[in-house]
Structures are given as structure tokens and as C-alpha cells.
């Protein structure tokens, strides 16, 4: 890790006009949708044994079926077809139910006071790790077979660690009991791989490109107790699709 940081820092002080083939330093931003598979969490938040049904007119099923990921990576390219670097990302998901809180009147001549609100379940996950790209469009076979020189293609690999949080809270229209949150935390190892296909915007003194990326991530946290004595985990594993923007020199 110290060698990687030294290479990235040193590249900032190198002044030269470089093509993408000799690119030393690159920053990439990405945004992705992930088809998360949170079966245990979905089963628990829909289990009537754990739900006070008096809060609801109808108990509509909830499902965490996708989360949004946005992140940044910084890479150094010491070889023609391979780069290495570090990345950080944040993954977010949220669902809610409409709820009602009935304050029963002790006076039979007065109506009950009903307050409406929402019961929220939010998941958030922070990740850091190492990343590497196999740069396919720099290979000789690509240059000899693909006539359109503005296309780029690479295969990305990521490995890191994550810290994830489940937030459970109510928000009422009147402000009653707002933001009274219960927070659950768990950690895990993230593995991800995917294809990046893009369009090269500039390729002279500076390099820039944008495109689409798709792949798969495995990320499942350790088990934790929610909400009472039984254990669940947060499973962010699933197929990914999104966009990226890269700037380098």
C-alpha cells in the first residue's frame, strides 16, 4: 500500500505531454444501480410477528430490490495495458410504509386524534479498497481489429472492505416522534468485477472519457440482531449497471 501511494503521489509531479498509452494518473467517477438481494431483511420487515399492525391501514409488502452506488477511484498506470489504484464508494437504499398513530379520546363525544406519517428503513454502506483495470483497447489485437479509435474497453476488478448501516425510524406530519432512529451496524468484504465500455473525448495533453459499465458485486455483511433476538445480514450482492467519467494526465 505504501508503494502504491508513492507511485500515485509521484505522478502528480511529472510534467509531460502524454497520450493515453503513457497515461500515469487518472481520476474516475461512477454512479451505478445494483440489484441487491436482501432477502433476510425483506422477510423481516414484512414479518407480521415483528410488526404492530395497528399502525397500518393496509400492510403493503416492502422490498429492497436495488441500491444506488456512487464512488471515486484514483489509479496509476505503470504498464501499457494495466493500472492499479484505490477507490471509495457509498451505497444507498431506502423503503417506507405509510403509518398512522391513533390517540384515543377519553371523551366519547370527541373523535380520536389520528396522526399520519411514514416508517422508514434505510441502508447505507461505505467502502474502501484497491482497484485494477485490464485495458483491452491498448492491446495490439484491439488496435488491429477495431477501426474506431475513440472506443475504449477495459475489465475492472475491485476488492475492499465495507461498513454498513441499517436505519429504522418514523416521521410524522405533525413532527411527533420525528427522527427517533434505531441504528444497526455490520461489516463485510466487497468483491466486484465488470466491463467498462466508453468513448474517448480527448487524448492529447489530457485524457478524458465517459461510458457505461456493467458487472457483478459480492458484498454481504456479518450477521447482526434485528430487531429482537434473531439474526439477519445485509446482502448488497447483485448485478450492476451505471455510468462513469474519467479524467487523466
pLDDT, tens digit (0-9, with 9 covering 90-100), for 50-107 = 766 666 655 678 889 899 999 999 999 999 899 999 999 999 999 988 877 767 667 7
pLDDT at 115 over 70: yes
Q: Compute CA distances 98 → 28, 173, 247, whole Å.
A: 39, 11, 44
Residue listed under C-alpha cell 500515469: 24
* Radius of gyration over every alpha carbon of the chain, rounded to an integer in angstroms: 24
Number of domains making up the chain: 1
pLDDT at 245 over 90: yes
Q: Which domain holds residue 172?
A: 2-248
- Asked if 69 and 89 count as a contact pair (C-beta separation under 8 A), the reply is yes
For the domain that residue 31 is a member of, what is the CATH number? 2.40.160.20
pLDDT at 2 over 70: no
Q: What is the C-alpha separation between 14 and 1, in angstroms, rounded? A: 21
Omega prior to 227 cis, within 30 of 0? yes
Q: Is 35 exposed, middle or buried (0-12, 13-18, 19+ CB in 10 A)?
A: middle
Amino acid at each position: 500500500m505504501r508503494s502504491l501511494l508513492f507511485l500515485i503521489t509521484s505522478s502528480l509531479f511529472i510534467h509531460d505531454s502524454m497520450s493515453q498509452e503513457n497515461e500515469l494518473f487518472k481520476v474516475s467517477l461512477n454512479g451505478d444501480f445494483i440489484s441487491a438481494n436482501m432477502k433476510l431483511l425483506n422477510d423481516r420487515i414484512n414479518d407480521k410477528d415483528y410488526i404492530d399492525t395497528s399502525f397500518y391501514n393496509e400492510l403493503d409488502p416492502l422490498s429492497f430490490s436495488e441500491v444506488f452506488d456512487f464512488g471515486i477511484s484514483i489509479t496509476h498506470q505503470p504498464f501499457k495495458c494495466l493500472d492499479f489504484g484505490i477507490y471509495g464508494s457509498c451505497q444507498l437504499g431506502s423503503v417506507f410504509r405509510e403509518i398512522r398513530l391513533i390517540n384515543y379520546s377519553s371523551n366519547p363525544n370527541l373523535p380520536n386524534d389520528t396522526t399520519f406519517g411514514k416508517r422508514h428503513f434505510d441502508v447505507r454502506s461505505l467502502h474502501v479498497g484497491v482497484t485494477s483495470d485490464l485495458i483491452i483497447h491498448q492491446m495490439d489485437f484491439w488496435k488491429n481489429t477495431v477501426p474506431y479509435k475513440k472506443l475504449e474497453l477495459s475489465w475492472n476488478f475491485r476488492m475492499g472492505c465495507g461498513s454498513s448501516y441499517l436505519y429504522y425510524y418514523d416521521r410524522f406530519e405533525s413532527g411527533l416522534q420525528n427522527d427517533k432512529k434505531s441504528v444497526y451496524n455490520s461489516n463485510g468484504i466487497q468483491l466486484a468485477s465488470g466491463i467498462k465500455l466508453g468513448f474517448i473525448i480527448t487524448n492529447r495533453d489530457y485524457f478524458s472519457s465517459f461510458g457505461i459499465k456493467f458487472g457483478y458485486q459480492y458484498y454481504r455483511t456479518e450477521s447482526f440482531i434485528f430487531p429482537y433476538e434473531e439474526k439477519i445480514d445485509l446482502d448488497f450482492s447483485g448485478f450492476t449497471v451505471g455510468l462513469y467519467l474519467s479524467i487523466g494526465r
